[in-house]
A and B are shown apart, each in its own frame.
Chain A
């Protein structure tokens, strides 16, 4: 069955205060629970801020390690969920729920080759 990666697109900047963030986390967790109950949930993770990342890239015979992020931007992928559903409409349906719960844009990307 096809898989889709739902990327949570987060703005760079201050993390909202707990009184704002807590209900969002609760709603996102609820959607995650629904995904598990529906049997579509494969994997999910929240990510640290982009400044925490390190880039490793091939340079000739060497591999160069530099401070990240790979691409500077106003937004970054703050977390993701991998789901397994029938088609894009089903993926978009979960994407909508996740966007509503997180109050963030969600990028829905089809997985080309799932080694699972």
Chain B
């Protein structure tokens, strides 16, 4: 019974922390105060719910309790030196809090305001990421620091500074006007995708924390897709994350080695995630407003369509990469397009497509070049490229894979081995 109630508090915390903070920021007008009040309310819940039972609207209870705590504190602190501003804030905070509907799409969600504040371009990208995970995801400072391999004190300072800037520079707490929405939404999507890729590709760090990041990004993606259903890029990003996540069970071998897409055991892909992702891709592409996330999701969907690597419709993938290169030109896209060119027209054409691509300090370009050289039988050059790629990789699993390939290229039997 008591254990059940504690589990309920944990579940409500995970699912509703961001929502409660978002409502309280609006009511109390300050991020720090809102955060403290919500945390206090959850501590109270840990004490009370096992005794009193879980309230009918847990998030409503948290919001009301948090609001009352904040008001009590203001009353205590402002008695001796009551200032007009405090009095005005108190008055505003004492207005009845709107009921918090469990899930009513007709009511504008405060979380949308909060995410636009967290991802405001006036904040540096690392601060945007940290704030989003802290305020909307409810991750602790220690968890975020751990995930991004930053000392906890550094992350704490980053969050303190970001919150101070929101307060001092008066970064507004609202959904941007129609005219600014596409640009501001791009920044939000970039933060969510960065959280996901950090969790998925794991440039460094250990696995369990990384999995949490990917799950958190997907949760934020689902939230945004629900809050901004009219923007196909939001749906596209969610589809891309789901289709990438679907491959996770097949991405790492039993000994922890990275398994490249072509060699993955496709029966281990999560079919439910694939089906959901593909349905979302179809839905957003029907709107006829393609964007970079939608096209990347479409590429993933084509891969997911193939029962075997050999059955991949590379012609279709090449068409999509051409479209992606036109929509969002970048060296990484150019390298991935060269991979598709190699599949359609052969490794020599793929190698030629890499000419002029400039992507320094990144393992992707030498890794792809190495693979194409290997397929062309240019073993010595391939080995050198694998070595260069391994030297640039920050991920132990990927580095091991590249070094294994390097050794294979140099061994007399060629591509034999694991």
Interface residues contributed by chain A, number (CB under 8 Å) = 9
User: Chain A binding site: helix, strand, loop or mixed by DSSP?
Assistant: mixed
Indicate the size class of the contact surface on chain B: under 10
CB distance from B303 to the nearest CB of A (A): 41
Q: With a CB–CB cut-off of 8 A, which chain B residues contact A110?
A: 168-170
Q: Indicate if the CB atoms of A87 and B171 lie closer than 8 Å.
A: yes
Q: With a CB–CB cut-off of 8 A, which chain B residues contact A92?
A: 122
Say yes or no: is A89 at the interface (Cβ < 8 Å to chain B).
Answer: yes
What does the 1/0 interface line of A79-92 toward B look like (CB < 8 Å)? 00000001111001
Say yes or no: is B172 at the interface (Cβ < 8 Å to chain A).
Answer: yes
Say yes or no: is A112 at the interface (Cβ < 8 Å to chain B).
Answer: yes
Query: CB within 8 Å of B: which of A48-96?
Result: 86-89, 92
Say yes or no: is A2 at the interface (Cβ < 8 Å to chain B).
Answer: yes
Chain B residue nearest to A2 (CB atoms) is B170
CA distance A112 to B164 in the complex (A): 12
Q: Indicate if the CB atoms of A89 and B176 lie closer than 8 Å.
A: yes
CA distance A65 to B117 in the complex (A): 45
Choose among A2, A86, A110, A112 the residue with the greatest number of B CB atoms under 10 Å from its CB. A110
Q: Indicate if the CB atoms of A89 and B168 lie closer than 8 Å.
A: no
Choose among B120, B170, B171 the residue with the greatest number of A CB atoms under 10 Å from its CB. B170
What does the 1/0 interface line of B339-355 toward A look like (CB < 8 Å)? 00000000000000000
Choose among A89, A110, A112 the residue with the greatest number of B CB atoms under 10 Å from its CB. A89
Shortest beta-carbon contacts, A-B, top 7: A87-B172, A87-B170, A110-B169, A88-B169, A88-B171, A89-B172, A88-B170
Between A and B, 14 residue pairs with Cβ closer than 8 Å are: A2-B170, A87-B171, A88-B120, A88-B122, A88-B169, A88-B170, A88-B171, A88-B172, A89-B171, A89-B176, A92-B122, A108-B169, A110-B168, A112-B168
